[in-house]
Every structure is written in C-alpha cells, then in structure tokens.
Amino acid sequence: MSLPGLLSFHYILMLSVLTGAADGYYTYRWTQCIYSSPDLSDMVFIEGFYFNKYPYVKFNSTVGKFVGFTEFGVKTAENFNKDQSLLQQMKAQVDVFCRPNAEITEAAVYNKTVQPKVKLSSVTPGDKTHPALVMCSVYDFYPEPIKVSWLQDGVVVTSDVTNTEELPNGDWLYQIHSELEYTPKAGQKISCVVEHASFSKPMIYDWDPPVPEFEFNIQLLFTIETAGLVLGILIAAAGFLYYKIRSAGL
C-alpha cells in the first residue's frame, strides 16, 4: 500500500496590528492536492482560507462546493456557491492544476531510486556475552523504506540483531545500520541482506571477517618455519654439492 501523496501551496498575507498588542494577524490560502493511487485516479483538490491558523472556509473537490466553519466563513461560502462559474473552475483544478503538477513531482522525485552503498565491518563488543559483533551499514539510498536482515549459514537470524531507524542525511538520501552479535565458529557464513526499491531482488552481502590475531601469529610462525626449513635444505644441498666437487678434484 503506497503512502498518500501531497502537493501543498501556501499564499500568506500579513496584516499589521496598529495597537502593537501582537505581532500581527495572518490570513492565508492553503492549496492541497492529495492522492494515493499511482495513476492519480483518486486525486482530491482542497483549498482552504485561514485566519490566524483557523480555517473559516474550504473547498473540497469531492464535496463540490465551499463549506464555512465560522459565521463569516458560512456567509462567504454561501456567496461563493452562488457563482456556478467559480464552482466549475474549482472542480476543474483536479485536472488543470493537481494532476499535471503531481505527474512532474512523481517523475522528478517520488519515482526516483538511488541504490544504497553497503559496508560490513567488525565492531568491538560492549560486553562478554558474545565475543563478536558485525555491523552492516547501508548508506545513501532513496526512497526511505528499506529492510536489512541477516543470514547465518543460509538461515534467517531472528535474535541478537539491533537496527537503527532510517536516518536522513539532509540531502534526500538516507542511511541505516544493523548489528549482529554472534559467536565465531569454524566455517560459518554470515551475510547481510538488503531489500530496497532500487533493487530488483534482495541483495546479499557476505561477511569476510578479519583473521584473529592469534591465528595470524600462528600462520606467520608456520610461514617462517617453512621458509627456514626450505632455506636449510637449500644450504645443505649447496654444501653437499660443493663437497662432491672438491672430492672429485674439479
């Protein structure tokens, strides 16, 4: 189900206060085009007249006439509704004003998608309950709705997951972060799954954890020992060859 779209326009007039008892009186028109259907078939045009934030008369295209909310608004609505030409003009705003502007907005903004950038990184655990934390950071995506989940050995993880809300960057793009607490096991596979309107299918990003320090040291020691053994064999072979040459009197 899509969220309702809204185009909104304000026309504000400030009337100065001669007494100086307040900052001013404000009267303004608020024009709105509201819809939820992708084909704009349920478009509604609303225009309201306000005085100091309170509406006194409104036109709604679904009602087809002006409605007053105050004594002055009721009289104003009665006068407006007597003008059939004005009523026809207001009803036509759905097709003349709302739909053309909504089509431009939909094409330029709402229908645009920006694929997120995804980064997986190791995080220092805050406690000793789980020895490892991995974060899936999803950056610079549009529109806002997105789903981030985790797989462990191909199975959806339903616990030990913490997600932030979608956070606005201030430039029409968003970011979200998700953390997974886990216990490292040999051969395990951890993946971050991102579902977004810019993707034709869920995207899976595999976590490639860094080699633990102790494991790195063992590997380094093994490499050094292997290199030393090879070097020793080469030196022994060279010495044996030298001995054979001397023995042969060459």
> Is residue 121, in this structure, part of any structural domain at all?
yes
> Is residue 211, in this structure, part of any structural domain at all?
no
Task: Return d(Cα 124, Cα 35) in angstroms, integer.
Answer: 47
Give CA 78 to chain center in angstroms.
Answer: 47
> Is residue 71, in this structure, part of any structural domain at all?
yes
pLDDT, position 170:
87
- Token pair in block for residue 188: 């395990």
- Token pair in block for residue 182: 């886990």
Q: What percent of the chain has pLDDT over 90?
A: 50
Count CB atoms within 10 A of the CB of residue 142.
Answer: 20
Task: Return d(Cα 18, Cα 191) in angstroms, integer.
Answer: 68
> Is residue 37, in this structure, part of any structural domain at all?
yes
- Asked if residue 206 lies in contact with residue 188, where contact means CB atoms within 8 angstroms, the answer is no
**What's the pLDDT band for 21 if we cut at 50, 70, 90?**
very low
Query: Could you read off the pLDDT of 213-223 as tens digits, one per residue?
Result: 444 454 555 56
What is the helix, strand, coil percentage profile of the chain, to 5? 30, 40, 35
Domain boundary among 69, 89, 110: 110
> Is residue 217, in this structure, part of any structural domain at all?
no
Q: Assess whether 66 and 129 both reside in one domain.
A: no
> Is residue 159, in this structure, part of any structural domain at all?
yes
**What's the pLDDT band for 107 if we cut at 50, 70, 90?**
confident
CA distance readout (Å), 128 to 124, 131, 183: 10, 6, 11
Q: Any idea which of 33-42, 43-52, 128-137, 143-152 has the lowest mean pLDDT?
A: 128-137
> Is residue 202, in this structure, part of any structural domain at all?
yes
For range 152-171, the mean pLDDT: 92
Query: Could you read off the pLDDT of 54-106 as tens digits, one per residue?
Result: 999 999 999 999 999 999 999 999 999 999 999 999 999 999 999 999 888 88
- Helices first, then strands: H and E counts in the chain: 5, 14
Domain boundary among 110, 136, 162: 110
Which residue is listed with tokens 């997951």?
161
Higher pLDDT residue, 138 or 233? Answer: 138
User: Model-level pTM?
Assistant: 0.51
Task: Return d(Cα 47, Cα 61) in angstroms, integer.
Answer: 9
Query: Could you read off the pLDDT of 167-177 as tens digits, one per residue?
Result: 999 888 999 99
For range 173-189, the mean pLDDT: 91
Domain ranges, residue 10: 5-110
Q: Is 195 left (phi over 0), alpha (psi -120 to 50) or beta?
A: beta
